[in-house]
Structure 1
């Protein structure tokens, strides 16, 4: 291993450790002591903790270990060292932190939900970006998906709904269940924000008779590339030129200003794209 590779891997593990601490703080200092059952394996471990006092971290490691072994047997998965590291360290930190915070750091249940799920989601997002994983219900969903023709997204949602609903068995309180669903929603949003963040990219299609002038201004004023496509109007049968532009969402306003200045009658569509790979954007990831 070269020095450069070693430094890169060391930074990656430091980032993973930091992210795991952030995620654990959200669960152990806010969500769990507030009596909220969140989604995922950590939420399931929390249910066992509320029912029988079992250690959240130990239960989390045990369930994930069983799922990993089952996935290897049924799906032939090869789990990376980083994922194993995250699963074990997350469980250890959960055990330590839950004993350190017998009560939430805020007396307001809604604030505990908001702060806890934001921290947990932010930590999870950083873990994903850094190439790690804490295991969880995605393994269950993939196993079920192998034998049943149900989409992974729907299976993950059903798993989380089932786990959060167990909060009613523990507390017999529908409000706790609703706090669990709020936790799931904020957690997912925080993960998406960390993963996409300022990298959120949009794709514009511009139809205008002044396409050449618009494309020249986009290239010269924004230093962005621009592709000219051939199009045909289905109703009129007329040939048209269509401009395709890829841009960061935060800079799309500049493009609209250029278009409006040159051709206020231009037809423009803008859509969010989940990934753009190539020169000037992300590298292709496998």
Structure 2
């Protein structure tokens, strides 16, 4: 292993550890001590904690360990070292910090929901970005999907809703269930924001008689590439040139300004792109 790879791995594990601390803080300092049952295995472990006083970290680690073994046996998963590291450290941190925060940092349940879910989601997003995983209901969903023709997305949603609904069994309070659903929504949104963040990319198709002027200006002044495609109007039969440009979403307004200044009559479509790989963007990943 070269020094460069070694230091890259060390940096990755440091980021993972920080992310695990952030995620655990959200659960142990805000969500759990406020009596809120969130989604996922941590939410299920919270239910057992509220019912019988079981240690959240120990229960979470135990359930995830069983799920990992089941996944390896039934699905042939090969869990990486980072995932095993994250599952283990997350369980230990949950066990330590839930005892350190017997009461929530804020007495306002709604604020605890927002802050806790944001921290938990942000930490989880950082973990995913750096190649880790904390296990969870996604394993259950994949196992069920193998034997039943139900989409994984729907199974994940059903698992989380079922776990959150157990909050009503514990507290007999519909507000707790609503707080749990809000937690799930904010958690998912935070994860998406961390994963996409400033990397959100858009794809523009530009149809204009002045395509050459637009493409030349984009290439020379914006440090962006531009591809010229041949197009034929289905109704008119006219041949047109179509420009395709890939851009970060935050800089797309510059492109619109250029197009408007050169050809206000240009026809433009813009759509979000889930991933762009190659020179100037992300490296191709498997």
Q: TM-score, normalised by structure 2?
A: 0.99
1:163, distance to aligned residue in structure 2 (A): 0.7
Alignment of 1:46-61 (within 5 A): 46-61=46-61
Residue in 1 that maps onto 2:281? 281
Residue in 1 that maps onto 2:107? 107
- Alpha-carbon distance in 1 for matches of 2:267, 2:150: 39
- Alpha-carbon distance in 1 for matches of 2:207, 2:8: 45
Cα deviation code 1:208-239 (max 9, x no counterpart) = 11111111111111011001111111111211
1:155, distance to aligned residue in structure 2 (A): 1.1
Aligned residues: 286
What secondary structure, in the 3-state scheme, does the structure 2 residue paired with 1:150 have?
coil
Cα deviation code 1:182-233 (max 9, x no counterpart) = 1011111111111111111000011111111111111111011001111111
Contiguous gaps of at least 5 residues in structure 1: none
Higher mean C-alpha displacement, 147-156 vs 19-28: 147-156
- Alpha-carbon distance in 1 for matches of 2:2, 2:232: 55
What secondary structure, in the 3-state scheme, does the structure 2 residue paired with 1:243 have?
strand
- Alpha-carbon distance in 1 for matches of 2:181, 2:73: 32
Residue in 2 that maps onto 1:64? 64
Higher mean C-alpha displacement, 94-103 vs 2-11: 2-11
1:106, distance to aligned residue in structure 2 (A): 0.3
What secondary structure, in the 3-state scheme, does the structure 2 residue paired with 1:21 have?
helix
1:11, distance to aligned residue in structure 2 (A): 1.1
- In the TM superposition, structure 1's runs of 4+ consecutive aligned residues that sit over 3 Å from their partners are none
- Alpha-carbon distance in 2 for matches of 1:93, 1:19: 12
Residue in 2 that maps onto 1:77? 77
Residue in 2 that maps onto 1:164? 164
What secondary structure, in the 3-state scheme, does the structure 2 residue paired with 1:113 have?
helix
1:9, distance to aligned residue in structure 2 (A): 1.1
Residue in 2 that maps onto 1:265? 265
- Alpha-carbon distance in 1 for matches of 2:63, 2:126: 23
What secondary structure, in the 3-state scheme, does the structure 2 residue paired with 1:275 have?
coil
- Alpha-carbon distance in 2 for matches of 1:226, 1:33: 53
Residue in 1 that maps onto 2:224? 224
1:254, distance to aligned residue in structure 2 (A): 0.4
What secondary structure, in the 3-state scheme, does the structure 2 residue paired with 1:38 have?
coil
What secondary structure, in the 3-state scheme, does the structure 2 residue paired with 1:144 have?
helix
- Alpha-carbon distance in 2 for matches of 1:205, 1:181: 39
Cα deviation code 1:129-152 (max 9, x no counterpart) = 111100001101111111111111
- Alpha-carbon distance in 2 for matches of 1:204, 1:51: 54
Contiguous gaps of at least 5 residues in structure 2: none
Residue in 1 that maps onto 2:4? 4
Residue in 2 that maps onto 1:175? 175
Residue in 2 that maps onto 1:184? 184
